[in-house]
């Protein structure tokens, strides 16, 4: 047999036998060449053959890493089936409790909403901050109020242009993170007592916003692969006449679902039929594992009904707290609301990010970040398969950094959360993401925070604690 094929077959057998785990790095070309007494070109051909067969993935400057293959994935969770009814939201106490538990640096933060800070280019950002401050025109400190610094607005609009759709800078507003953008947009299109359609499960920031503004939630069935069920959405609209819809079309938190482009187009048409605004949270859109960034619903919006919100917090600079809104026909109202509250986002952060984006380093950073997140996803999925019971189900996200793990119905993820936290591991329990207070067997895991080795230890611990949550719920 040809040498490179023989090597590829041998490595494939090691992967299939579990000797080489998902996320694990293959020996470097030179190391493998030396150990096997083969030429570097022969080893490279073997690695490329493994890549073509789906066993490994090549990452720029990081070598080849073992993939998890489709036939190794555990079963997907079922689609949620909430009652299409209005619910008053009251989640602040629980959310505060879970977030407080993450302040302990000795806890493995798989319940966190942010990836590992070490994955961000903090040194380069610091250079951009210093450089932009040295060049600062003092007049800009009072001029760059809403809608924001013109240089940063241009850079944000340019990213959308390069991704295939146009966004007018006149529509953009720089905000203090995505949370401010989302809250301003929600406030612009609702009044206290209104109902808003949300996903089930839904990110707790959405639930907090509804609670703060005195709004009711209408939870709609959401598929772990394709997102919100548009037929159920239409039923909810007809039955309750909501004031707005709030969703994540790209790598939804907590499910990681990705709405197909055909559904995004259908959703945009549905909004026009009902003249209904959509608040689109797209903070994970840049963290795709495929070949191109999936477009947001905003890309199909011809009527100005989509209030699109993005942020650099999840993919570049969490501490800089810079987000934005492109609010369509509601842009003026959103800008006026910001002028009446925070006035503007912090100018040093705006200037630093504008400077960094102008260097062209962002896409290089994103390629590396996406590769790390994909490897960590594969490693955590492998842990679910090895350590958890066969009747557990887990999502298979194509981007972002969250898994949703669904235990059988007789488990309570909140009891698991409490037991795990005592042992130094944090998860995000399922009832954190539901408008109702019912016990939920599902919970969210952040694979962007722990290293592969740390995640494996934490997942083993969680698996040993499952009987605690089972006995408490039964």
Q: Is 389 exposed, middle or buried (0-12, 13-18, 19+ CB in 10 A)?
A: exposed
Please report the domains of the chain, with CATH numbers, ordered by start residue: 3-67 (1.10.10.10), 73-79+367-473 (3.90.1150.10), 118-358 (3.40.640.10)
- For residues 116 and 401, the answer to whether their CB atoms sit within 8 Å is no
Angle at 171 between CA 165 and CA 176, to 5 degrees: 105
Confidence at residue 472, expressed as pLDDT on a 0 to 100 scale? 47
- For residues 325 and 178, the answer to whether their CB atoms sit within 8 Å is no
- pLDDT-derived band at 463 (thresholds 50, 70, 90) equals very high
CA distances from 85 to 61, 246, 329, 354, 430 (A): 51, 16, 29, 44, 20
Adjacent-strand bridge partners of 88: 216
The beta strands (E) that lie in 16-109 are given as 56-59, 63-66, 86-88, 108-109
DSSP 3-state assignment of 116?
A: coil
CA distances from 3 to 17, 50, 134, 286, 298 (A): 21, 14, 58, 40, 51
Confidence at residue 337, expressed as pLDDT on a 0 to 100 scale? 96
- HSE (CB half, 13 Å, CA atoms) of 424? 9
* Average pLDDT along the chain: 91
Q: How many Å apart are CA 435 and CA 437, to the nearest integer? A: 7
Strands 108-109, 425-426: pairing is: parallel
- pLDDT-derived band at 72 (thresholds 50, 70, 90) equals low
Mean pLDDT check: name the lowest of 4-8, 106-110, 267-271, 401-405: 4-8
- pLDDT-derived band at 112 (thresholds 50, 70, 90) equals very high
Residues in the chain: 474
Average pLDDT over residues 280-306: 96
DSSP 3-state assignment of 379?
A: helix
Q: How many Å apart are CA 87 and CA 256, to the nearest integer? A: 24
What is the per-residue pLDDT across 164-207, written as a single tens digit (0 to 9) for each?
A: 888 888 899 999 999 999 999 999 999 999 999 999 999 999 99
Mean pLDDT check: name the lowest of 14-23, 238-247, 301-310: 14-23
Confidence at residue 47, expressed as pLDDT on a 0 to 100 scale? 84
Asked if the model's pLDDT at residue 473 lies above 60, the reply is no
Q: How many Å apart are CA 236 and CA 255, to the nearest integer? A: 21
Closest CA to 455 of 23, 119, 101, 100: 23
């Amino acid at each position: 047999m040809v040498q490179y094929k023989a090597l590829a077959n041998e490595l494939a057998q090691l992967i299939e036998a579990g000797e080489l785990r998902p996320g694990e790095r293959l020996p470097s070309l030179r190391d493998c060449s030396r150990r096997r007494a083969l030429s570097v070109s022969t080893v490279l051909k073997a690695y490329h053959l493994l890549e073509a067969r789906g066993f490994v993935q090549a990452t720029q400057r990081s070598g080849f890493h073992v993939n998890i293959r489709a036939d190794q994935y555990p079963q997907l969770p079922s689609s949620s089936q909430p009652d299409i009814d209005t619910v008053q939201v009251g989640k602040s106490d629980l959310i505060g409790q879970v977030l407080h538990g993450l302040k302990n640096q000795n806890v493995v933060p798989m319940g966190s909403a942010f990836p590992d800070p070490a994955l961000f280019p903090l040194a380069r950002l610091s250079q951009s901050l210093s450089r932009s401050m040295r060049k600062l025109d003092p007049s800009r400190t009072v001029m760059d109020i809403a809608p924001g610094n013109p240089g940063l607005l241009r850079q944000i609009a340019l990213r959308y242009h390069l991704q295939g759709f146009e966004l007018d800078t006149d529509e953009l507003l720089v905000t203090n993170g995505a949370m401010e953008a989302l809250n301003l947009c929600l406030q612009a299109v609702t009044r206290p007592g209104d109902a808003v359609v949300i996903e089930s499960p839904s990110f707790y920031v959405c639930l907090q916003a509804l609670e703060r503004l005195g709004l009711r939630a209408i939870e709609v069935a959401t598929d772990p692969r394709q997102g919100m069920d548009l037929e159920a959405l239409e039923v909810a609209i007809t039955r309750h006449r909501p004031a707005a819809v709030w969703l994540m079309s790209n790598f939804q938190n907590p499910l990681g679902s990705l709405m197909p482009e055909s559904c995004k187009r259908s959703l945009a048409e549905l909004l026009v039929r009902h003249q209904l605004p959509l608040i689109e949270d797209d903070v994970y859109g840049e963290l795709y594992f495929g070949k191109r960034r999936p477009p947001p619903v905003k890309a199909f919006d011809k009527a100005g009904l989509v209030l699109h919100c993005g942020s650099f917090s999840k993919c570049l600079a969490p501490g800089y707290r810079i987000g934005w809104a492109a609010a369509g026909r509601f842009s003026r109202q959103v800008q006026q609301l910001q002028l009446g509250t925070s006035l503007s986002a912090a100018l040093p952060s705006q200037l630093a990010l504008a400077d960094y984006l102008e260097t062209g380093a962002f896409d290089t950073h994103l390629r590396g970040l996406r590769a790390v997140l994909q490897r960590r996803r594969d490693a955590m999925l492998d842990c679910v398969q090895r350590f958890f019971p066969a009747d557990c189900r887990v999502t298979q996200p194509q981007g972002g950094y969250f898994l949703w793990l669904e235990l059988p119905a007789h488990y309570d993820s909140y009891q698991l959360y409490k037991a795990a936290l005592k042992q130094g591991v944090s998860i995000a329990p399922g009832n954190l993401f539901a408008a109702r207070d019912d016990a939920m067997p599902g919970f969210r895991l952040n694979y962007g925070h722990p290293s592969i080795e740390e995640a494996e230890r934490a997942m083993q611990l969680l698996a040993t604690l499952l009987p605690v949550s089972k006995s408490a719920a039964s």
